[in-house]
Amino acid sequence: MESKEAPRDFIRKIIDEDNKSGRFGGRVHTRFPPEPNGFLHIGHAKSICLNFGIAKEYGGLCNLRFDDTNPLKEEQDYVRAIEEDVKWLGFDWEDRLFFASDYFGKMYEHAVQLVKAGKAYVDDLTADEIRDYRGTLTTPGRDSPFRNRSADENLNLLERMRAGEFADGAKVLRAKIDMAHPNLNMRDPVMYRILHAKHHNTGDKWCIYPMYDWAHGLEDSIEGITHSICTLEFEDHRPLYDWYLDALGVYHPQQIEFARLALTYTVMSKRFLLQLIEKGYVRGWDDPRLPTLRGLRRRGYPPTAIRTLCERIGVAKVNSTVDIEFLEHCVREDLNKTAPRFSGVLRPLRIVIENYPEDKMEEFEAVNNPEDPAAGKRKVPFSRVLYIEQEDFMENPPPKYYRLAPGREVRLRYAYLITCKEAVKENGNLVELRCTVDPDTRGGNAPEGRKVKSTLHWVSAAHAVDAEVRLYDKLFTVPDPLAQEGMDFKDLINPKSKEVITACKAEPAVRGLKPYDRFQFERIGYFCVDPDTTNDHLVLNRTATLRDQWAAIQERGQSGK
Q: Give contact residues for ligand ATP (rule: CB under 6 A).
A: 33-35, 43-44, 46-47, 230-231, 260-261, 268-270
End-to-end alpha carbon distance in the chain: 35
Closest-by-Cβ residue to Mg ion is 35
Nearer to ligand ATP, 255 or 541 (CB): 255
The catalytic residue among 23, 96, 134, 260 is 260
Backbone angles phi, psi at 478, to 5 degrees: -125, 155
**Shortest distance in whole angstroms from residue 103 CB to ligand ATP:** 17
Which x/- pattern, by CB under 5 A, does the window 35-64 give for Mg ion? x-----------------------------
Beta bridge partners, 292, equal 41
Nearer to Mg ion, 35 or 57 (CB): 35
**Shortest distance in whole angstroms from residue 171 CB to ligand ATP:** 27
**Shortest distance in whole angstroms from residue 70 CB to Mg ion:** 9
User: Beta 465-472 vs 498-506: how paired, if at all?
Assistant: antiparallel
**Shortest distance in whole angstroms from residue 111 CB to Mg ion:** 22
Residue 269 binds: one of ligand ATP, Mg ion, none (C-beta under 5 to 8 A by kind): ligand ATP
By the rule CB under 5 A, 9 interacts with Mg ion = no
* Nearest by Cα to 309 from 286, 289, 288, 291: 291
> Which 3-state string (H, E, C) describes 261-299?
EEECCCCCCHHHHHHHHHCCCCCCCCCCCCCEHHHHHHH
Nearer to ligand ATP, 183 or 231 (CB): 231
Residue 33 binds: one of ligand ATP, Mg ion, none (C-beta under 5 to 8 A by kind): ligand ATP
**Shortest distance in whole angstroms from residue 82 CB to ligand ATP:** 8
Contact 134, 144 (CB under 8 A): no
Reply yes or no on whether 377 is catalytic.
Answer: no
Nearer to ligand ATP, 215 or 380 (CB): 215
Reply yes or no on whether 270 is catalytic.
Answer: yes
User: Beta 348-353 vs 429-437: how paired, if at all?
Assistant: parallel
The catalytic residue among 35, 83, 84, 153 is 35
Residue 230 binds: one of Mg ion, ligand ATP, none (C-beta under 5 to 8 A by kind): ligand ATP
Nearer to ligand ATP, 201 or 231 (CB): 231
Residue 260 binds: one of ligand ATP, Mg ion, none (C-beta under 5 to 8 A by kind): ligand ATP
187/295 Cα distance (integer angstroms): 41
User: What is the sign, positive or negative, of the torsion defined by CA atoms of 326, 332, 333, 338?
Assistant: positive
Reply yes or no on whether 498 is catalytic.
Answer: no
Residue 203 buriedness (CB in 10 A; 0-12 / 13-18 / 19+): exposed
**Shortest distance in whole angstroms from residue 34 CB to Mg ion:** 8
Cα angle: 185, vertex 186, 188; to 5 degrees: 105
Q: How far is CA 249 from CA 117, 239, 243, in A?
A: 12, 15, 10
List of residues contacting Mg ion (CB under 5 A): 35
Q: What are the catalytic residues?
A: 35, 260, 270
